[in-house]
Chain A
Amino acid sequence: MINVSSMLGQTPAYGASIYSSTKAYLRFLTYAVGEEAKDKVDFLSVNLGYTSTAMTRYNKGIFTVLPEEVAYGIARDLGKYRETDATFRQHVSGTLLHLFPLSTRIGIMSHFLRRSQDRNNS
C-alpha cells in the first residue's frame, strides 16, 4: 500500500493550506494503518519534493526531479521502509530543510510557493 505524500506534508506553507494538511493526513494514516497491519501489508509513505509534472507546470530547478526517478525510488523502497524521499536529491533537500525548526521551515517553503505563484501569474 503506497501513499504518495509530499514534503509539504511535514511543513505547511503559504498557499498550500489544504494541500499540505491532506498530505500530512496521508502520512499519518499510512503510519497508523501500517502499524496495525504490519504482518500482512507493507506500507510506504512517499514525501515528494518538487517533481516536474503538470502540478508544478513542468518547472525545473536544482532540486527538481523527474517522475521516472521518483517511480524507481518508490519501487526500490517498497517493503523495505515505511517512509521514503524517493530520490537522493529530494532526500538532501529534505534533510537540509529539517535542520531548521518548523517556524523557519514554514517561512522557507512559503517563500518558494509565493515565488512560483508570481511566476504563474506573470
Chain B
Amino acid sequence: METVKRVKEYLDKAPKWVIYALAAYGLFRTVKAALCPLAAVWRYKLRGIGNLLQRYGKNSYVLVTGASDGVGKALAYQFAALGFNLVLVARREALLEAIKADITGKFHVSVVNISFDLSQGASFPQLTAGILERISSLDVSILINNAGVGQNATTFAGLTTEAIENLLNLNLVAPTLLTHLLMKQRDCTKAQ
C-alpha cells in the first residue's frame, strides 16, 4: 500500500507528458490485447493454403520422413492433394506400399517409397546411400522432418540405452544430417 501511495503522490506532481505517455502505453496495450485473438482467428481459421505448387515448383517432390503413420501420413495426403509428387521415407515397407497404392489411386502424382530405418541409419554414409542417392534425379523442393519417437513419460534414469540411442538418432541426428545433405545436394549453402 505504501508503494501505491507513493506512486499516487508522484503522479499528482508529475508533468503532463508523463501522464500522456502512460495513457498512450495503456491504450496501446489494450488495443493489442483486443487484436491478438482477432489475429489468431485470422491466422488459424480464416486463411487458406497459398499456391505452394507455384512457389516450390510444379512436378517437384516432397520428402516426408516417418510417413507410414500419424502426422507424416496426413502430410503425405495433404501434399498429394495439393499436386506435389512424394518421396515417402519410413521403416515399415508394407505400410508405405499401402499408402502409395491409395495415393496414386486418388491423386495424379507419382510416389517414391524408400524403406529406411532412420533410428539405425543416422550417419552420413548410410543416409547418402540409402536416401540421397536415390533421390538425386528428383527435384525435391520440400523436406519434412517429421519422423520422431516419444519417451512414454519414462524418467531419464529409467530409460534403456537402446531407447536413448533411438531418441537421439531419430529426433536429433537424422533431421540434422538430412537437412544438411539435402541443402548441399540442392546447393542452398551459399546465401544470395
Contact = CB atoms under 8 A, between A and B. Distances in A.
Interface of A: 1-4, 14-19, 22-23, 25-26, 29, 33, 36-41, 48, 51, 53-56, 66-68, 70-76, 78-80, 85, 87-88, 91-92, 95, 113-114, 116-117, 120
Leading 10 A-B pairs by shortest Cβ distance: A53-B70, A15-B153, A117-B153, A22-B171, A67-B74, A88-B44, A71-B74, A71-B78, A19-B151, A17-B156
A75 B69 contact: no
A54 B171 CA distance: 16
A27 B167 CA distance: 16
Interface in B149-168: 149-156, 159, 164, 167-168
B152 to A, nearest CB: 7
A71 B153 contact: no
Contacts of A114: 153
Given A2-B142, A37-B191, A14 B155 contact: yes
Nearest to B171: A22
B42 to A, nearest CB: 11
Given A19-B150, A51-B71, A54-B70, A74 B78 contact: yes
Contact of A74 (B75, B148, B149): B75
